[in-house]
Structure 1
């Protein structure tokens, strides 16, 4: 199972989102380190809309997502961009 698929499954189970997009942006970071060609699944972006975030600050939302994905960081996820929202909040996507 790919890292992207694992992330999607864990976030669905934890937050029951109305909308969820997990994007692999690793290719955008090619060359940032001498031996990194942009392959693999090291840099991901999560766009998620879930009622579970109601009443939480942006920081608390990020922390909740990072806690759910702790194992993925331990397994090699290097960077995670998070765009959380509750239903009705404006998003840029």
Structure 2
């Protein structure tokens, strides 16, 4: 079952036109650790043509920009894997 924040993150990432998108709520693995201000921890695996020719840092920046309205209140941390379709082969 997905959380409301997970659904909002999935919706926000649609602007990157993913051909594959997997968002996992990992919050239960990080409950109570130092520095967590209450937002959730999520893993994102996203495949999009938008990432073609971009460095990993620029890909991550695009993901963070798409999720900006959820950071840092609803989301404390993101683990991101951002690929192009060609990188899946």
- State the TM-score, normalized to the length of structure 1: 0.81
Alpha-carbon spacing, 1:71–1:19, altered in 2? closer, same or farther (3 Å) = same
1:16 corresponds to which residue? Answer: 17
From 52, 58, 61, the counterpart of 1:60: 58
By relative contact order (CA 8 Å, sep 6+), the higher-ranking structure is 2
Aligned CA RMSD, in angstroms, stands at 2.3
1:28 corresponds to which residue? Answer: 29
Residue deviations 1:47-82, cap 9 Å, x none?
A: 000001001100000001101111101433100110
**Does the 8 A contact of 1:4 with 1:41 survive in 2?**
no
Which ranges in structure 2 are unaligned for 5 or more consecutive residues? none
Which ranges in structure 1 are unaligned for 5 or more consecutive residues? none
Please show how residues 38-49 of structure 1 align to structure 2 within 5 Å. Answer: 42-49=40-47
- Kindly state the Cα deviation for residue 41 of structure 1 after the two structures are TM-superposed: 5.8
Matched positions, count? 86
2:5 corresponds to which residue? Answer: 3
- State the TM-score, normalized to the length of structure 2: 0.84
Q: Secondary structure at the match of 1:88?
A: helix
